Homo-oligomer: A and B are copies of this chain.
Amino acid sequence: MSRAPFRPRAVYRHWTPVATQWADNDAYGHVNNAVHYRWFDTAVNGWLIGRGLLDVTSGDPIGLVVETGCRYAAPLTYPEPAEVGLSVEEVGRSSVRFLLGVFAPEAERAAAEGFFVHVYVRRADRRPVPVPDAWRAALAEIAA
């Protein structure tokens, strides 16, 4: 298990507010660990769409998830909201590794910290393609 301390709010460049849902709380009364990964997907794709890079229905390339991970330090609980910080850790030839931090609204320390690796592929055959230059320029703006 990774022992690195969680990164502070200052490392994140883009924020996505997330509303918790009644059914996010599991039998122990807190947001289930799989929900965080739904938020990661939502934050990464939301930023890509918002920047005009990703077009889910007809654009090229599209992003497929090849690796994700998350460490959990503190529970979150519906109905309390949360917010997800996003920044870019590394841009490869065809892939991007994003860093994500989940925070309770006023909290300085992250409740959870994760990563999310996208590989960009051609829609038609889902073969990896180089990250387009316009994407690289935008991704550089949210570098960690």
Chain A interfacial positions (CB closer than 8 Å to B): 1-2, 17-23, 25-29, 32-35, 37-42, 45-46, 49-50, 56-57, 62, 64-73, 78-79, 95, 97, 117
Return the chain B residue nearest A22 by Cβ: B41
Total identical chains: 4
Contact, CB under 8 Å: B23 / A38? yes
Q: List chain B residues, Cβ under 8 A from A38.
A: 21-23, 32, 34
Contact, CB under 8 Å: B22 / A45? yes
- Residue of A17, A26, A37 with most partner-chain B CB within 10 A: A26
Contact, CB under 8 Å: A19 / B22? no
Given contacts A19-B19, A72-B67, contact A33 B27 (CB under 8 A): no
Instruction: Kindly state the separation between the CA atoms of A22 and B84 in the bound complex, as whole angstroms.
Output: 14
Given contacts A66-B1, A78-B42, contact A25 B22 (CB under 8 A): no
Partner of A25, one of B27, B34, B97: B27
Given contacts A37-B34, A79-B49, contact A28 B66 (CB under 8 A): no
14 pairs, A vs B, C-beta closer than 8 Å: A2-B67, A19-B42, A20-B42, A22-B41, A22-B45, A23-B35, A23-B41, A25-B27, A29-B56, A29-B57, A34-B37, A50-B79, A66-B71, A69-B70
Partner of A17, one of B19, B26, B57, B69: B19
Lowest 4 A-B CB distances belong to which pairs? A69-B69, A34-B37, A22-B41, A25-B27
